[in-house]
Amino acid sequence: MALMPLISNFEGDFVLQLIPVDSESTMDEVAQAAAHHSVGRRVKARPGHVIRVRRPGSNEPFPRTMRVSEAGIKPMESLECIWESRAPLAAVASPAQRAGSGEE
């Protein structure tokens, strides 16, 4: 486990921001850390959506439970945080998962 700086590029926001995460954080935890500095500050919350994390330009977000270390993400790499409708995942996500998932 190691503290690791990443860059959040949050959908709807205007600026890249520095976010500290742990190398063992899941993508949902990364999304939560990024949301803290954007949602409710300059980006309206979107009920019924979850925030997914992806590499810039990729159409495929990382799996929500994947850890930063597993994804091969380097310190200070920029990641896009994208709103995704919760519907397809809501049925399978447990309350515990949702609590730490960055859902708004």
Partner 1 sequence: MAVLNRTDWYDIARKTNWTPKYVKEDELFPPQLSGNFGIPVEQWESYDEPYKQTYPDYVKVQREKDAGAYSVKAALERSRMFENADPGWLSVMKAHYGAIARGEYAASSAEARMMRFSKAPGMRNMATFGALDEIRHTQLQLYFPHEYCSKDRQFDWAHKAYDSNEWAMIASRHFFDDIMMTRDAISVGIMLTFAFESGFTNMQFLGLAADAAEAGDFTFASLISSIQTDESRHAQIGGPALKIMIENGRKAEAQKLVDVAFWRAWRLFSVLTGPIMDYYTPLEHRKQSFKEFMHEWIVSQFERSLTDLGLDKPWYWDTFMHDLNETHHGMHLGVWYWRPTVWWNPRAGVSPEERAWLEEKYPGWNDTWGQCWDVIIDNLVEGRTELTLPETLPIVCNMCNLPVNNTPGKGWAVKDYPLEYNGRLYHFGSEPDRWCFQQDPERYAGHMTLVDRFLAGQIEPANLGGALAYMGLAPGEIGEDAHGYAWAEAYKHAALKKAG
Min CB(23)–partner 1 separation in Å: 15
For tokens 């850390």, name the residue.
Answer: 33
Residues 38-97 that bind partner 1 (CB under 8 A): 40-44, 56, 74, 76-78
The identity of residue 69, as a single letter, is S
Residues 1-40 that bind partner 1 (CB under 8 A): 5, 7, 9, 11-19, 36-37, 40
Chain residues that interact with partner 1, rule: CB under 8 A: 5, 7, 9, 11-19, 36-37, 40-44, 56, 74, 76-78
